[in-house]
Amino acid sequence: MSLAHGRTRGNGIRGSHWEATSISPQHQYQQQQEEQRQRILRNLQLWHYRHLLGNRDPTTPSQPLAEPRPVLQQQTVKKEHQDVLSAAQQEIYQTQGTFPNRKAEGIRRLLYENINGLQPRLTNNDKLMKLSDIIHNLQADICCFAEHRINFGHRTVTNGPGQLFRRDAVISTTAGHNTHENISRVQEGGTIMVTTGKLNQFITTTDRDKDPTGLGRWVSTLYLGKGGCSTRVITAYNPCYNRTPLSGSSYQQHRRYFIRTHRDLTCPRLQFQADLIHQMKAWKSNGENLILCMDANQDIYTGTLGKELTDPSGLALTEPIELITGRKIGPTYFRGSKPIDAVWVSPSLSITNACVYRWALERATTACSSST
């Protein structure tokens, strides 16, 4: 889902004050929605031609054309893009909340998206180019991506997350994948976090914690601020249920690991929930503010995972889109019917803007901003 969840955190560090954004009048809001829809349609059409014709950028004639795709692959890509265009025409792709403006001085912005797979190459990589543009245009300080589907341990994968996301700014990255299976370069699941620019000075090498099982179910980064204030950002992916034992799905990867290592037949989804909640409670007991960006693969409001995250007697996190806009998030995948991706935050963090933005990708992006 392409969610632009606008969350503004107190320099991502103090987390006590977020960028304030006034609500536009109704007619201005409607105008912004229409401009947004038209822009998305144009982007989708450009992407359709890129994939169908093999042109990296149809708006730049000077760029050489790549070899055209095989006919069957063209047909598959064409149908996929027709589905996306149809969803856009039906106004499934809309902005919820106030779209982030140009970032003011002292603001820190967080971006979350399920990228639904990424190629580990630097050239002829349309999705990577699109992600880099989104990060650059939104001036994101923290970028959280779920389901990268890259086996960074495979011998043919020569570019790590640092090389993939390095543009012009100084960045640091942390990525997780299943380190127990090394079958091919493509591996379902995985999580990545990217920190850009000056925010890197608030990270130490010991502050990046990963899923201790080595399955890459989550990664996190702790940002240390003034006066001992600390905010931990977590990126997590809960696997979809899959009943095929020998498949390469995240669910079956995790199931094989727990059976082989611990002789544990617990459902990997239930194990994920128990392990993540336990770890987050430990971080909270250390006095850390928490920001969780997650593809829950279940309804974020009615599912057991979302309920446990927001339980007042437990982690007591809040979902800022509903908090700010007064409306629950809609479907976050263009083929889906319910919200399965979201960002949750500690109530001690004062949020001033949150936005869900449907880009010309399959999923939604979440962007957040905060002031120091």
- Which domains, ranges and CATH numbers included, belong to the chain? 29-89 (no CATH), 100-344 (3.60.10.10)
Neighbours of 335 (CB within 10 A): 10
Centroid of chain to Cα 105: 25
**The pair of three-digit structure tokens given for residue 89, joined into one six-digit string:** 């025409």
Amino acid, single-letter form, for residue 95: T
- Contacts for 286 with CB less than 8 Å, ≥ 6 apart: none
Buried b / exposed e over 50-76, threshold 16 CB at 10 Å, is bbbeebbebeeeeeeeeeebeeeeeee
Average pLDDT in the 328-345 region?
A: 86
pLDDT at 367: 56
pLDDT at 149: 96
Average pLDDT in the 21-34 region?
A: 55
Query: Where does the pLDDT of residue 15 fall: very low under 50, low under 70, confident under 90, or very high at 90 and above?
Result: very low
What is the average pLDDT score of the chain?
79
Higher local confidence (pLDDT), 255 or 100 = 255
> 3-state DSSP call for residue 352?
coil
pLDDT at 363: 52
| C-alpha neighbours within 13 Å on the C-beta side of residue 277 | 20
**Separation of alpha carbons 150 and 213, rounded Å:** 18
- Contacts for 214 with CB less than 8 Å, ≥ 6 apart: 178, 179, 180
pLDDT digits (tens, 9 = 90+) for 203-233: 976 656 899 999 999 999 999 887 788 999 9
pLDDT at 57: 46
Average pLDDT in the 112-132 region?
A: 90
Average pLDDT in the 16-34 region?
A: 50
pLDDT digits (tens, 9 = 90+) for 40-65: 556 655 655 555 445 444 444 444 44
Least confident among 66-75, 110-119, 135-144, 330-339: 66-75
pLDDT at 214: 96
Higher local confidence (pLDDT), 325 or 206 = 325
Does the structure show a pLDDT above 80 at 273? yes
